[in-house]
Chains A and B, each alone.
Chain A
Amino acid sequence: MRLSSTQRFWTSLVLAIPLLIQMVGMLFHWMMPGYNWVALVTTTLIMLVGALPYWKSAWAAFLHHNANMNTLVAVGTTIAYFYSLFAMVTGRPVYFESAAFITVFVLLGDMMEERMHDNASNALKKLLGLQVKDALVKRDGQFTCIPLADVKVGDLIQVKPGEKFPVDGEIASGTTTVDESMITGESIPVAKKVGDHVVGATINGRGTVTFKATKIGKDTMLAQIVEMVKKAQTSHAPIQHLTDKISGIFVPAVLIIAIATFIIWYVLLGASGVQAMLFAVSVVVIACPCALGLATPTALMVGTGRAAKMGVLIKNGEALETVNDIKTIIFDKTGTVTEGKPRVTDIVGPKRQVLEVAASLEAASEHPLASAVMQRASDEGIQPQAVTNFQAIEGKGVAAELAGQPAFVGSNKLSVDYQVSSELKQRLSKLQAEAKTVIQVGLNQQVIGLLAIQDVPKTNAKQAIANLKAQGLRTVMLTGDNERVAQSIAQDVGIDDVIANVLPNEKAHYVEKFQKAGKVAFVGDGINDAPALTTADVGIAMGSGTDIAIDSGSIVLVQNDLRGVVRALEMSRKTFNRIKLNLFWALIYNVIGIPIAAGVFVSLGWILSPEIAALAMAFSSVSVVSSSLLLNKARIE
């Protein structure tokens, strides 16, 4: 018959009740009639139900030249049990309750640990649970409900308000807001329109939309996140080498200490054989290799799982450990510190007219700055007008006729025929001094206004950099841009050092330079910065929100948000500190527990009976696992 730890525990506990009654009765000098016989029967049953599996496992391990926690439990219980049998036959006092309670408490520890272990691995189950089962897919002109597994790339899928997007894709019709918090950790819903990416498992807001599936099955973002979290949770942290070394010799060493304890008490100190035996059994039972073994994996499991919920994917225990030694954090500029998209920051002159002329001319242009102008115009609700005689003048700008009047948008090379007021000239040089790209807007021989365009820092970049500096990190920005632009951005967000005019292939080289002064983290996007990300001790890859570059960084941020860097560092530190705390307690526990059990402090009146030693042992692993679970409650900005 196969029983679970839980069933074994309850059965053993019920069987141990008479022994418990006697222990209480003892305080009132009451003896249960025929106690030895009752104890013999119940303890034998407890041994069969509860202790036998440990004996079997320990024996099998022994044959492999292995010893583990089961060995200790088995040695402790067999000695107490078989000595009591011998004592009963020869008319000496029996210690059945020691054997019985060691078993009960060890089973209690096993049961609780198993439950908490399940709890710790919950994050993954929750992620997997986000997946929907079926999708409303357009087949033969009609939307029909089909199982998720049958969805193909290119399928049109309808999603009603409040439902989840089944897979990743692109909105084909309709507008809506989407709650992406389960993937990115960002609680504010995101507006989506035709052409925008959506991620499977996120929740549709008010609008009904149809979208085209672009990624299914293993390729979806959720599937990739799950895969990554799985690997992270089972990964090893370098600090574990210590426990690996200890665990190999721990149990045999404890057995040797136990025998030494017996010899010292019995032979050298003249204690009775039984007393010496009880000390030895206590030593065997209190030693807890489990707490040591559980210290790291459980904390890793909880820490990486919690981080994933915040949109921070920590790839493995090694990355998590290295974060603690980071001295410098280097950022790529474009797309990391800044939006990566130029935006119109200042408009000089009559706002609506300037924008209207600029937008009308730029509508047909493919220049990167043109999109910034068009974006601003549409934000202001300005419609571009039709133009004639459109001319794109390479490197200078565009010229055309707007409602019969000549007009231009571009640099001052185009403005030679136009009149520029001295006030505008002043504003122009002032804006240029701020490292902004300035374009002039001309209409009918007159420059009517200016548009300043800049790749602006992300809204929360300043806050994030301040937080990182508060953690004692040196912040550096690398960019291919010129010194002036780079300096102005750095000043805006508060970055310490700037290295400008860096060619893309030189980034890794600069990372190496900084590594001479200590460990370096590099933050960049996963695509262009791959070499720098791999060179750095910790590579933090920023996702675009719909795609994650799994391979390039040791930490991947689902969201393109610098606050994620702060969270990643903080969560890594908290987890690693927890691992250290766990290991410390597990070690101290054994270092203090074993001498007490061996009777070193008898003169102080500190004696541990084998039962109490077993209880203490059971709670040591439980306390380590609970300490790891507390990571779920740790405060993160």
Chain B
Amino acid sequence: MVKVFALIIGIILIALIAWWFFGKHEQAAQSAQVKDNGQKATVVVNGGYSPSTVVLKKGVPGQVDFDMRDHTACLSHVVFDSLGVNKDLTKQKITTVKIPTDKAGEFNFACGMDMFHGKVVVK
């Protein structure tokens, strides 16, 4: 009886995991706040990037602040492959990455091991 119970729970768990991780869960992109001297978006780093997509306006000097709240090695670096940026986020609480906004486009970023992904959209 206990075994049947365990079997059912196990199967339900597997189904839940599949649904939770493999199902479609869209996340909203967040726009940067524009101030007189530029625009800034903040990405909180905690078990991932939230928001994972930020939008910057074209033509306004832009930056993305990474607010590090994760204490594990996994997310310790942020890498923008097309910008040649590889920054250690653990040295200070907030790490700023300047984003060129002269052209519309997308800049992908990821953690040092390429397990977590996010992007900055300039438009």
> Are A263 and B47 touching (Cβ within 8 A)?
no
Query: Which of A174-182, A287-295, A498-506 is the interface stretch?
Result: A287-295
Q: Does A262 contact B (CB under 8 A)?
A: yes
Kindly identify which residue among A67, A69, A110 contacts B21, using a CB–CB cutoff of 8 Å.
A67
Main SS class of interface, A: helix
| Residue-wise interface mask of B (13-31) relative to A, using a CB-CB cutoff of 8 A (1 in contact, 0 not) | 1100110111101010000
**With the chains together, A607 CA to B95 CA distance in Å?**
45
CB-CB nearest in chain A for B77? A117
**With the chains together, A58 CA to B21 CA distance in Å?**
13
CB-CB nearest in chain B for A251? B21
Kindly identify which residue among B27, B46, B115 contacts A289, using a CB–CB cutoff of 8 Å.
B115
Q: Does B10 contact A (CB under 8 A)?
A: yes
> Are B14 and A64 touching (Cβ within 8 A)?
no
> Are B27 and A227 touching (Cβ within 8 A)?
no
**With the chains together, A273 CA to B5 CA distance in Å?**
13
> Are A57 and B6 touching (Cβ within 8 A)?
no
Kindly identify which residue among B10, B14, B72 contacts A110, using a CB–CB cutoff of 8 Å.
B72
Give, as a whole number of angstroms, the nearest-CB distance from A195 to chain B. Answer: 34
A273 to chain B: which residues have CB within 8 Å?
6
Q: Does B112 contact A (CB under 8 A)?
A: yes
**With the chains together, A232 CA to B83 CA distance in Å?**
10
> Are B79 and A267 touching (Cβ within 8 A)?
no
Q: Does A255 contact B (CB under 8 A)?
A: yes
> Are B74 and A65 touching (Cβ within 8 A)?
no
Q: From residue 257 to 306 of chain A, which have CB atoms closer than 8 A to chain B? A: 259-260, 262-263, 266-267, 273, 289-290, 293-294, 296-297
| Residue-wise interface mask of A (363-381) relative to B, using a CB-CB cutoff of 8 A (1 in contact, 0 not) | 0000000000000000000
CB-CB nearest in chain A for B71? A53
A-B contact count (CB 8 A): 134
CB-CB nearest in chain B for A255? B17
> Are B81 and A290 touching (Cβ within 8 A)?
no
A240 to chain B: which residues have CB within 8 Å?
114
B3 to chain A: which residues have CB within 8 Å?
266-267
Q: From residue 27 to 64 of chain A, which have CB atoms closer than 8 A to chain B? A: 53-54, 56-64
> Are B112 and A297 touching (Cβ within 8 A)?
yes
> Are A260 and B10 touching (Cβ within 8 A)?
yes
Q: Given the known A-B contacts A66-B48, A293-B115, are A2 and B71 also in contact in the complex, defined by CB atoms under 8 Å?
A: yes
Q: Does B96 contact A (CB under 8 A)?
A: no
A117 to chain B: which residues have CB within 8 Å?
77, 112
Q: Does A247 contact B (CB under 8 A)?
A: yes
Give, as a whole number of angstroms, the nearest-CB distance from B4 to chain A. Answer: 8
B75 to chain A: which residues have CB within 8 Å?
57
> Are B20 and A65 touching (Cβ within 8 A)?
yes
> Are A297 and B113 touching (Cβ within 8 A)?
yes
**With the chains together, A110 CA to B84 CA distance in Å?**
24
> Are B50 and A64 touching (Cβ within 8 A)?
yes
CB-CB nearest in chain A for B49? A64
Q: Does A544 contact B (CB under 8 A)?
A: no
Give, as a whole number of angstroms, the nearest-CB distance from A571 to chain B. Answer: 19
A231 to chain B: which residues have CB within 8 Å?
81-84
A243 to chain B: which residues have CB within 8 Å?
114
Give, as a whole number of angstroms, the nearest-CB distance from A359 to chain B. Answer: 51
**With the chains together, A121 CA to B85 CA distance in Å?**
12
The count of residues in chain A whose C-beta lies closer than 8 Å to any C-beta of chain B is: 56
Kindly identify which residue among B7, B20, B76, B77 contacts A263, using a CB–CB cutoff of 8 Å.
B7
**With the chains together, A240 CA to B84 CA distance in Å?**
17
> Are A61 and B84 touching (Cβ within 8 A)?
no
A65 to chain B: which residues have CB within 8 Å?
20-21, 23, 25
CB-CB nearest in chain B for A114? B73
> Are A230 and B84 touching (Cβ within 8 A)?
yes
> Are B18 and A70 touching (Cβ within 8 A)?
no
Give, as a whole number of angstroms, the nearest-CB distance from A356 to chain B. Answer: 56
Give, as a whole number of angstroms, the nearest-CB distance from B85 to chain A. Answer: 7
Kindly identify which residue among A53, A230, A232, A256 contacts B18, using a CB–CB cutoff of 8 Å.
A256
**With the chains together, A62 CA to B47 CA distance in Å?**
8
Q: Given the known A-B contacts A236-B81, A294-B113, are A61 and B86 also in contact in the complex, defined by CB atoms under 8 Å?
A: no
Q: Does B80 contact A (CB under 8 A)?
A: yes
Give, as a whole number of angstroms, the nearest-CB distance from A498 to chain B. Answer: 39
Interface centre among B3, B52, B83 (most CB of A within 10 A): B3
> Are A56 and B71 touching (Cβ within 8 A)?
yes
**With the chains together, A113 CA to B79 CA distance in Å?**
17
| Residue-wise interface mask of A (115-151) relative to B, using a CB-CB cutoff of 8 A (1 in contact, 0 not) | 0010001000000000000000000000000000000
Q: From residue 204 to 237 of chain A, which have CB atoms closer than 8 A to chain B? A: 227, 230-236
**With the chains together, A263 CA to B9 CA distance in Å?**
10
**With the chains together, A223 CA to B109 CA distance in Å?**
24
**With the chains together, A66 CA to B50 CA distance in Å?**
11
**With the chains together, A417 CA to B70 CA distance in Å?**
91
Q: Does A249 contact B (CB under 8 A)?
A: yes
Q: From residue 36 to 71 of chain B, which have CB atoms closer than 8 A to chain A? A: 46-48, 50, 52, 69-71
Interface centre among B46, B47, B82, B84 (most CB of A within 10 A): B47
**With the chains together, A199 CA to B116 CA distance in Å?**
40
CB-CB nearest in chain A for B75? A57
Q: From residue 57 to 86 of chain A, which have CB atoms closer than 8 A to chain B? A: 57-70
Q: From residue 103 to 123 of chain B, which have CB atoms closer than 8 A to chain A? A: 112-116
B47 to chain A: which residues have CB within 8 Å?
56-64, 66, 68, 70
Give, as a whole number of angstroms, the nearest-CB distance from B118 to chain A. Answer: 11
Q: From residue 94 to 110 of chain A, which have CB atoms closer than 8 A to chain B? A: 110
Q: Given the known A-B contacts A58-B47, A236-B81, are A266 and B6 also in contact in the complex, defined by CB atoms under 8 Å?
A: yes
Q: Does A515 contact B (CB under 8 A)?
A: no
CB-CB nearest in chain B for A293? B113
> Are A5 and B73 touching (Cβ within 8 A)?
yes
List 16 interface pairs A-B (beta carbons < 8 Å), by A numbering.
A53-B72, A54-B72, A57-B74, A58-B47, A60-B46, A66-B21, A68-B115, A69-B74, A110-B73, A117-B112, A231-B81, A234-B79, A234-B81, A247-B114, A259-B10, A267-B7
- 8 nearest interchain CB pairs? A60-B47, A293-B113, A61-B47, A231-B84, A53-B71, A230-B84, A252-B21, A110-B73
Known A3-B71, A235-B82, A252-B20; further 13 A-B contacts with Cβ < 8 A? A53-B71, A56-B47, A57-B47, A57-B72, A60-B70, A62-B20, A64-B50, A66-B21, A244-B114, A262-B10, A263-B10, A290-B113, A293-B115
